[in-house]
Structure 1
Amino acid sequence: MNKHTSKITTKSIEQSGLPNDYKKALAEYIWNGFDAGATKIHLDFDANELGHLASFSITDNGTGIDIETIDETFGNFLDSKKRESAYTDGFQKGRKGKGRYAFSTFANSCSWLTTFEGPDGKLLRYSITINKGDLQNFIIADTVIVKNVSTGTVVNFQNFIDLSANLLSNKEFEDYLSGEFGWFLFLNRERGCKIFINGAELAYEKIIGDTEEVRYEIGDYHFRAIFIRWNQKIGDRYYFYFLGKNQKEAGKKHTSFNNKAIDFHHSVYVESPFFDNFHETIEDDPVLEFSGKNQAHPSYKALLKALNALVSDKEKQFIRGVQADKLIGDYHDRGIFPPPDRKANDLETVVKEIYCAEPRIFQSSNSQQSKTLVGLLNLLLATNNGHNIVEVIESFTALTDEEREGLAEVL
């Protein structure tokens, strides 16, 4: 057994901004597994009838932790070796070296049993242990040669703090994992990337409402864009993510959509060799070719234009195909619409078209305001003054030429 000391104190580690929630803490260990090239992550726990945990582990089939670099990985803090790597093992999320200490949120000790391939091709196994009260020190057991096993790491947690089986098996935890990892699992589904909780595969697909893959050829470059609309808010995900080799994130940019409060939760992931040597700069001025590419590159600008058109079309489809019908149903349930007559279908059509043009007109209104607006629209239709509806709407909000023409055509 060998004792190693990291380059920071326990107090400094605790004050560094470790996850304050067990869900975020566990996500760190799952990301570490995927960072190590894993395709399967297993969360396994056992508990008694009262839900008290007897055991809990996270297992991955990644490359393991090379003991030759242990002082550069476990020995450093906020300066993880992964930050300096070429991300050759794929997308890497945990780059600050905090993940290994996250257990202190919910457990008093943690151990890693890891298997890796040595320089001579032999499989080597050893364990690492860290205790909550002594975070700067970690104990390493002697390395042994193993056979007929695969590389990977098993993280075992012991002496739990306010963590129960119910917290690991409830819908809230599954929804969190789906939101945190759903996009990654979807993009890497062909590699077979999956998460399991006590043997049951995480059904992340349920939070995906719509997807589309689009390929662009711009200049000398090919781009593969994946649009995803989420059925629920999953955090700050309204970005274009630009990924290079092995899904290394080269940059991201706000999509500027979902400003209409319509629950249009979405992300766009763009993969291309174009981003292998792409660096966002403070200024938008072009950079010299030998120093890489930045946001001033003509192909990048053309790509953004195409991506904005894609998301705009998707937003319109979502409003018309999902949210507008939901609004009509809600108005019927709340009695916003007047008693049905021969003009009822016309009124619904007009309300739907106006909602598609500007959702905020209806979403920012209370029931009385909604009744007033719908009553006014109904009156104009009943008196064959439908042509004045455009003027009424423009008194609420400005319409684009396209929206004005579309509404006028319906009327």
Structure 2
Amino acid sequence: MEKHTSKITAKSIEQSGLPTDYKKALAEYIWNGFDAHATKIHLNFESNELGRLESFSISDNGKGVNIETIDDSFGNFLDSNKRDPFNKEIFQKGRKGKGRYAFSTFANKCIWNTTFKDATGKLLTYDIMINKEDLQNFIIENRIINKTNETGTMVSFYDFFELSSISLLNKEFDRFLSSEFGWFLFLNRDRGCKIIINGVKLAYEDSIGDSEELVYEVGGENFKIVFIRWNQKIGDKYFFYFLGQNQKEKAKKHTSFNNKAIEFHHSVYVESPFFDSYQETSDDNPIFGAFGNNQAHPYFKTLLKMLNVLVSRKEKEFIRDVQADRLIEDYQAKGIFPELKIKTNELENVVKEIYCAEPRIFLTSNLQQSKTLIGLINLLIAAGNALNILEVIEGVVELGDEERATLTRVLQI
């Protein structure tokens, strides 16, 4: 047995901002597996009839933890060479920093059983143990030569508190995992990346309403673009994520869409070697040469314009193909459409077109206001004065020149 000490005190570890939510704590170990080039992460647990956990482990088929560099990986904490000094907002996923201590949120002891390939090609297996009451120290033991042909790591947790099988079996946990890892699993589906819980694959696909993949070329640089629209609100805001080698997040930027409260939950992932040397700086002055690229680079500016066009197009498709139909169904269910023997289909079509052009018109109205607005639109259509609807709309919301022009075209019926 060998005792090693990390380069920080237990008190500093506890005060470093460890996850307080068990879901986020478990995500740290899953990310560590994917960072180790794993394609499959297994969460396995057993419990008694009362839901009390009797065993719980997270295992992966990654490359394992090399014992020769154990003091660099487990001995360092919040390693500076893994952090971007220019961007304080980037969430570093699975960096084998404070994440390995996340078990202290719900358990008193954690043991890593890991198998790696050494410089001679032999597979070596050993254990790493950390106790909650002695976080700055880790113990290495049970070193053996492994005769299998597989590397990987299994993290086992012991002596649980504030965690039960109910926590791991509820829909909220599945939704969290889909929100946290859905994009990564989607981007790496051809590699066979999966999260499997007690033998059942995480159905992250259910959280995706729409997706599109394309490649933009800017100045000879290729950028792989993946757009995802989520079926539910995700835990993060809506960003463009800029990824470098091995899909490491180098920067992110708000998309500025979904200001219309239309449930347009989306993310855009941009992957390119261009971002390997990308550094988001505190100002927009360009950087040159060996210092890499930043947000002032002309390629990045051009790319950003193209991305905004893409998201604008996807938003309009979503409004027209999904939300407009939902609005009509909602109005029908609430009895907002008048019960008059006129061309009901024509009224519904006009409302749908107006909604597609400017959703705010209907989103800012309560039930009585909606009935009044629809009634006025209905009367103007019946009287053949559709263009006068524009005056009614401008009494509800303030329109810009572009919005006014769009609605004028729509009302040419």
Please give the TM-score of this superposition, normalised by the length of structure 1: 0.94
Q: Distance in 2 between matches of 1:286 and 1:111?
A: 47
Structure 1 residue 220: Cα displacement: 1.5
Residue 357 (structure 1) aligned with residue 383 (structure 2): no
Residue 398 (structure 1) aligned with residue 382 (structure 2): no
Structure 1 residue 383: Cα displacement: 2.2
Sort the Cα spacing of 1:66 and 1:340 in 2 relative to 1 into closer, same or farther, 3 A.
farther
Number of residue equivalences: 405
Q: How does 1:203-282 map to 2 (within 5 A)?
A: 203-282=203-282
Unaligned runs of at least 5 residues, structure 1 = 85-90
Q: How does 1:361-372 map to 2 (within 5 A)?
A: 361-372=361-372
Q: Distance in 1 between matches of 2:223 and 2:79?
A: 32
Residue 138 (structure 1) aligned with residue 138 (structure 2): yes
Residue 41 (structure 1) aligned with residue 41 (structure 2): yes
Structure 1 residue 364: Cα displacement: 2.2
Q: Distance in 2 between matches of 1:217 and 1:12?
A: 46
Which residue identity does 1:135 align to in structure 2?
A: L
Name the residue aligned to 1:87: none
Structure 1 residue 402: Cα displacement: 6.2
Name the residue aligned to 1:347: 347
Structure 1 residue 406: Cα displacement: 5.0
Check whether the contact 1:390–1:404 (CA below 8 A) recurs between aligned residues.
no
Check whether the contact 1:357–1:403 (CA below 8 A) recurs between aligned residues.
no
Sort the Cα spacing of 1:340 and 1:170 in 2 relative to 1 into closer, same or farther, 3 A.
farther
Q: Secondary structure at the match of 1:141?
A: strand
Name the residue aligned to 1:287: 287
Check whether the contact 1:115–1:153 (CA below 8 A) recurs between aligned residues.
yes
Structure 1 residue 335: Cα displacement: 1.2
Check whether the contact 1:73–1:81 (CA below 8 A) recurs between aligned residues.
no
Structure 1 residue 360: Cα displacement: 2.0
Q: Distance in 2 between matches of 1:14 and 1:285?
A: 38
Which residue identity does 2:409 align to in structure 1?
A: A
Sort the Cα spacing of 1:329 and 1:340 in 2 relative to 1 into closer, same or farther, 3 A.
farther
Name the residue aligned to 1:389: 389
Structure 1 residue 160: Cα displacement: 0.8
Q: Distance in 2 between matches of 1:77 and 1:292?
A: 26
Q: Distance in 1 between matches of 2:64 and 2:290?
A: 36
Sort the Cα spacing of 1:141 and 1:18 in 2 relative to 1 into closer, same or farther, 3 A.
same
Q: Distance in 2 between matches of 1:219 and 1:128?
A: 48
Q: Distance in 2 between matches of 1:219 and 1:173?
A: 43
Q: Distance in 2 between matches of 1:17 and 1:313?
A: 39
Which residue identity does 1:50 align to in structure 2?
A: L
Check whether the contact 1:109–1:158 (CA below 8 A) recurs between aligned residues.
yes
Sort the Cα spacing of 1:290 and 1:81 in 2 relative to 1 into closer, same or farther, 3 A.
closer
Which residue identity does 1:401 align to in structure 2?
A: E
Name the residue aligned to 1:64: 64
Higher deviation after alignment, 206-215 or 333-342: 333-342
Sort the Cα spacing of 1:334 and 1:81 in 2 relative to 1 into closer, same or farther, 3 A.
same
Q: What fraction of aligned residue pairs are identical, expressed as a percent?
A: 68
Name the residue aligned to 2:30: 30
CA RMSD of aligned residues (A): 1.9
Q: Distance in 1 between matches of 2:345 and 2:280?
A: 51
Check whether the contact 1:250–1:275 (CA below 8 A) recurs between aligned residues.
yes
Structure 1 residue 109: Cα displacement: 0.8
Structure 1 residue 7: Cα displacement: 2.3
Name the residue aligned to 1:186: 186
Sort the Cα spacing of 1:200 and 1:179 in 2 relative to 1 into closer, same or farther, 3 A.
same
Write out per-residue CA displacement over residues 69-105 of structure 1, whole angstroms, 9 at most, x where no aligned residue. 2222222222277559xxxxxx972237111111111
Q: Distance in 1 between matches of 2:308 and 2:342?
A: 41
Which residue identity does 1:12 align to in structure 2?
A: S
Name the residue aligned to 1:167: 167
Q: Secondary structure at the match of 2:113?
A: strand
Structure 1 residue 313: Cα displacement: 0.5
Q: Distance in 2 between matches of 1:258 and 1:76?
A: 41
Please give the TM-score of this superposition, normalised by the length of structure 2: 0.93
Q: Secondary structure at the match of 1:143?
A: strand
Name the residue aligned to 1:88: none
Structure 1 residue 282: Cα displacement: 2.4
Name the residue aligned to 1:103: 103
Q: How does 1:317-328 map to 2 (within 5 A)?
A: 317-328=317-328
Q: Distance in 1 between matches of 2:291 and 2:6?
A: 36
Q: Secondary structure at the match of 2:76?
A: coil
Higher deviation after alignment, 396-405 or 223-232: 396-405
Check whether the contact 2:240–2:255 (CA below 8 A) recurs between aligned residues.
yes
Check whether the contact 2:5–2:137 (CA below 8 A) recurs between aligned residues.
yes
Which residue identity does 2:160 align to in structure 1?
A: F
Structure 1 residue 111: Cα displacement: 0.5
Q: Distance in 2 between matches of 1:383 and 1:366?
A: 26
Write out per-residue CA displacement over residues 365-395 of structure 1, whole angstroms, 9 at most, x where no aligned residue. 2111111211121122222221111222233
Q: Distance in 2 between matches of 1:107 and 1:207?
A: 30
Check whether the contact 2:117–2:151 (CA below 8 A) recurs between aligned residues.
yes
Residue 296 (structure 1) aligned with residue 300 (structure 2): no
Q: Distance in 1 between matches of 2:234 and 2:209?
A: 13
Structure 1 residue 112: Cα displacement: 0.5
